[in-house]
């Protein structure tokens, strides 16, 4: 009886926690991207975007974002974590120390340190908020193709990295 009573308290808490969890964005390879016919049709409850909101990056914005990501990745390759840290956004740096940054990169983004060439796709920017997203792929050790999505923010000194999705293997390369 005591166990049944405990379950009555635990189950609602678990349901609440599961309901609050944010789904992770999946990065899929181009061959896995659904075609226009396979994508669901908008429902009446989905409001169409009429003004503002994210739009495709123009060449200037994408160039600035790519320059920041490439510079940070080059700093990783030279083990210059202090320089790499300088490409993080001011809000990221105010919440994560340099030591914490090194731990995050080494623990979750190790293959990025060894990458040599990044390929950028699907840059979207919201000029009202100064935020942008860009998908990045790279080949590590001549074999695994990795993908991640960067969240960028426009700062006084250019585009800065606010965060990145989990690194995922999305294929093999040569």
Residue-by-residue DSSP string for 105-131: HHHH-HHHHT---EEEEEEEEETTTTE
Can you give the pTM of this predicted structure?
A: 0.68
Is the pLDDT reported for residue 50 higher than 90?
A: no
Query: 171 versus 119: which is more confidently predicted?
Result: 119
Q: Would you kindly state where each structural domain of the chain is located, as residue ranges?
A: 54-172
Q: Which residues pair with 144 in a beta bridge?
A: 140, 172
Cα 170 to Cα 11: distance, rounded to the nearest angstrom? 36
Q: Give residue 133's pLDDT band: very low, low, confident or very high (50, 70, 90).
A: very high
Tokens of 42: 């908008």
pLDDT at position 114 is 76
Residue 59 pLDDT > 80, yes or no?
yes
Indicate if the pLDDT at residue 125 is higher than 80.
Answer: yes
Q: What is the C-alpha separation between 88 and 158, in angstroms, rounded? A: 11
Number of Cβ within 10 Å of residue 166's Cβ equals: 13
- The alpha helices in 30-141, defined as continuous H runs, are 59-77, 81-86, 90-95, 98-108, 110-113
Q: Which of 12-26, 41-55, 118-132, 145-159 has the lowest mean pLDDT?
A: 12-26
Q: Looking at residue 112, what is its pLDDT?
A: 83
pLDDT range class, residue 127, cuts 50, 70, 90: confident
Are 85 and 79 spatial neighbours (Cβ–Cβ below 8 Å)?
Answer: no
Query: What is the distance between the alpha carbons of residues 143 and 157, in angstroms, rounded to a whole number?
Result: 36
Task: Name the least confident of 14-18, 35-39, 129-133, 158-162.
Answer: 14-18
CATH of domain 54-172: 3.10.450.50
Q: Which of 32-46, 73-87, 96-110 has the lowest mean pLDDT?
A: 32-46
Contact 134, 56 (CB under 8 A): no
């Amino acid at each position: 009886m005591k166990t049944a009573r405990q379950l009555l308290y635990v189950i609602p808490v678990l349901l609440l926690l599961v309901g609050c969890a944010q789904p992770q964005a999946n990065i899929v390879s181009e061959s896995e991207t659904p075609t226009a016919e396979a994508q669901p049709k908008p429902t009446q409850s989905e409001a169409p975007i009429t003004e503002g909101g994210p739009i495709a990056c123009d060449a200037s914005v994408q160039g600035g974002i790519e320059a920041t990501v490439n510079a940070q990745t080059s700093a990783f390759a030279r083990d210059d974590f202090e320089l790499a840290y300088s490409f993080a956004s001011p809000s990221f740096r105010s919440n994560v120390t340099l030591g914490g940054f090194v731990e995050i990169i080494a623990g979750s983004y190790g293959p990025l340190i060894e990458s040599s060439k990044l390929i950028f796709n699907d840059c979207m920017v919201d000029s009202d908020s100064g935020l942008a997203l860009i998908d990045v792929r790279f080949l590590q050790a001549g074999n695994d193709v990795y993908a991640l999505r960067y969240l960028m923010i426009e700062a006084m000194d250019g585009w800065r990295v606010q965060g990145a999705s989990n690194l995922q293997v999305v294929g093999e390369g040569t």
